[in-house]
């Protein structure tokens, strides 16, 4: 090697060593030093977190603003192969509220291995998660200071937008794999305080998933948080207290189960199947899959009860309704309650020009939901914006003309949700409800209250039309009490 080449190399090395880090690099350098140093961070291969905590009940609590329902977690174990991009979480969750499946503990296993997301059922059967769920789990792997810092220190990552945020320093990190996160560090300790990433939620649109870190402990030459709290938008979804942290221990097998790896990945909800059964003149049961709707014909218009699940289901149901009565406009959709699986098609219904009738406590939430940004996964309303017309029902409302009479009642005091409406057809002696009574289900924790509401209102019911399961005689609802009280 010629001497001037050698000198040039030395000069280049000196320049690199002496160069001032950019402000974004400074945030990462500070955090790396606080966590135990760059080399120590990069040497880590695996991390196992064990502990306990709670999961929230996002979109399924008593009202949208309620936060009293939670699942207590025991046996929480999160194993991360930080170098291999694989993670698996095992936990046993126990609801602190009256739950459909009963209040017994339920074991859950979920994971991600590269592009494959999976769950393992209690009986050991593995299933593949949707692509969207797999993507969320890949992102979730970086919702920890160690994994995100490893990514930030990788030359393939891009750092941007260094800034002050309420006494903290924040920087955006885009990984070599194309995932973007905001990392915030404490202004004085320089320890990471939170990681934020954006994802799509069908009901809430573009949402921030934010994990906050606290209670840092010394673990094998690293500082690692023992408290991890996660929110989706403003709703807390997990609060984990780690009681044992193992760096480079045995993670067990983190490969996706063969049954999941070989299955086709779901790219979206399955195609909708909508069947139509005329229950009485002008009343159709639109069923076919897990979440049903009911179509009601008035003199010069139609009213739909329920736009459930997602755009796919709701648009298929609306199309079926138009096919059954092509000459009449569908003017309104009645929403049975705010739970995400029952309100997930409301935005699609609004995009089709339907006005919303719902229990009064949901009005503010739906006004917000209809105006939220859906840029990550544009839905029907994002592509075809329409103003929302909405009316709240407090305790009851009757819709009536010469052709049809239907009264909506609040199912008051039901432990399933505070926002439930049922629809009663006095002439036909039909009652449409959902979740309060699901015919055929082994556990009926909400049925006693439904009976109370029916008796209190003096309703004459022959048949229950449930929006889950099959139509049942009223006697079957009464039987739930005979079996649960003896």
Region of 31 please: left (phi>0), alpha (psi -120 to 50) or beta: alpha
Please report, as residue ranges, which positions from 16 to 45 form the binding site for Zn ion (by CB under 5 A).
none
Interaction between residue 136 and Zn ion (CB under 5 A) = no
Please report, as residue ranges, which positions from 407 to 436 form the binding site for Zn ion (by CB under 5 A).
435
Q: How far is the CB of 61 from Zn ion (least distance, A)?
A: 10
Q: How far is the CB of 421 from Zn ion (least distance, A)?
A: 12
Smaller CB separation from Zn ion, 311 or 435: 435
Q: How far is the CB of 65 from Zn ion (least distance, A)?
A: 16
Smaller CB separation from Zn ion, 99 or 425: 99
**N-term to C-term CA, the chain:** 93
Strand order in the sheet with 293-297: 275-280, 283-287, 293-297, 302-305, 330-334, 355-359, 390-393
CA atoms within 13 A on the CB side of 318: 24
Please give the Cα distance from 375 to 364 (Å, whole number).
22
- Buried-exposed string 162-172: b where 16+ CB fall within 10 A, e elsewhere: beeeeebbbbb
* Count of residues in contact with Zn ion, rule CB under 5 A: 2
Q: How far is the CB of 72 from Zn ion (least distance, A)?
A: 21
Q: How many CB atoms lie within 10 A of CB 119?
A: 16
Q: How far is the CB of 362 from Zn ion (least distance, A)?
A: 12
Smaller CB separation from Zn ion, 62 or 185: 62
Site track 325-354 with Zn ion (rule: CB under 5 A), x = hit = --------------x---------------
Give Cα separations from 238 to 57, 241, 357, 361 (angstroms): 9, 10, 32, 25
Q: How far is the CB of 315 from Zn ion (least distance, A)?
A: 20
Secondary structure of residue 238 in the 3-state scheme? strand
Residue nearest to Zn ion (CB): 339
- Among residues 251, 250, 253, the alpha carbon closest in space to that of 261 is found at 253
Smaller CB separation from Zn ion, 404 or 421: 421
Smaller CB separation from Zn ion, 175 or 358: 358
Q: How far is the CB of 334 from Zn ion (least distance, A)?
A: 15
Smaller CB separation from Zn ion, 136 or 435: 435
Find out whether 269 and 307 touch, Cβ atoms under 8 Å: no
Q: Beta strands 390-393 and 355-359: pairing type?
A: parallel
Please report, as residue ranges, which positions from 168 to 227 form the binding site for Zn ion (by CB under 5 A).
none
Smaller CB separation from Zn ion, 69 or 197: 69
For Zn ion, the binding residues (CB under 5 A) are: 339, 435
């Amino acid at each position: 090697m010629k001497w001037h080449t050698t000198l040039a190399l030395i000069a280049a090395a000196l320049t690199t060593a002496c160069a001032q880090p950019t402000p974004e690099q400074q945030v990462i350098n500070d955090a790396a030093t606080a966590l135990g140093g760059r080399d120590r961070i990069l040497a880590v291969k695996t991390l196992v977190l064990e502990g306990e905590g709670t999961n929230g009940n996002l979109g399924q609590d008593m009202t949208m603003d309620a936060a009293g329902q939670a699942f207590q977690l025991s046996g929480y174990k999160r194993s991360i192969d930080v170098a291999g991009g694989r993670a698996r979480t095992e936990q046993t969750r126990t609801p602190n509220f009256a739950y459909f499946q009963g209040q017994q503990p339920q074991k859950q296993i979920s994971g991600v291995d590269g592009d494959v997301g999976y769950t393992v059922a209690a009986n050991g059967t593995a299933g593949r998660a949707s692509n969207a769920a797999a993507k969320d789990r890949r992102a979730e792997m970086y919702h920890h200071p160690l994994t995100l810092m490893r990514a930030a220190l990788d030359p393939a990552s891009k750092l941007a937008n260094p800034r002050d945020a309420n006494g903290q320093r924040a920087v955006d990190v885009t990984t070599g794999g194309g995932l973007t996160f905001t990392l915030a560090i404490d202004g004085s300790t320089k320890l990471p305080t939170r990681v934020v990433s954006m994802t799509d939620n069908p009901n809430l649109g573009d949402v921030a998933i934010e994990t906050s870190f606290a209670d840092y402990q010394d673990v094998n030459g690293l500082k690692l948080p023992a408290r991890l709290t996660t929110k989706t938008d403003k709703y807390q979804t997990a609060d984990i207290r780690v009681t044992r942290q193992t760096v480079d221990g045995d993670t067990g097998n983190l490969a996706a189960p063969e049954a999941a790896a070989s299955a086709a990945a779901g790219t979206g909800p399955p195609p909708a199947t909508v069947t139509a059964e005329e229950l009485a003149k002008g009343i159709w049961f639109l069923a076919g899959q897990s979440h049903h709707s009911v179509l009601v014909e008035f003199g010069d218009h139609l009213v739909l009860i329920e736009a459930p699940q997602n755009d796919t289901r709701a648009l298929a149901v609306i199309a079926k309704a138009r096919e059954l009565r092509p000459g009449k406009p569908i003017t309104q959709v009645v929403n049975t309650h705010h739970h995400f699986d029952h309100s997930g098609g409301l935005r699609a219904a609004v995009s089709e020009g339907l006005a919303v009738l719902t229990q009064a406590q949901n009005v503010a939430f739906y006004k917000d939901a209809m105006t939220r940004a859906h840029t990550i996964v544009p839905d029907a309303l994002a592509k075809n914006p329409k103003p929302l017309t909405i009316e709240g029902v407090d305790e009851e409302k009757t819709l009536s003309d010469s052709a049809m009479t239907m009264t909506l009642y609040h199912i008051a005091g039901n432990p399933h949700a505070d926002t439930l409406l049922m629809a009663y057809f006095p002439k036909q002696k039909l009652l449409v409800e959902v979740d309060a009574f699901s015919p055929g289900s082994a556990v009926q924790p909400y049925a006693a209250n439904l009976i109370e509401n029916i008796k209190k209102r003096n309703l004459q019911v022959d048949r229950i039309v449930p929006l889950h399961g099959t139509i049942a005689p009223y006697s079957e609802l009464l039987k739930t009490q005979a079996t649960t009280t003896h």
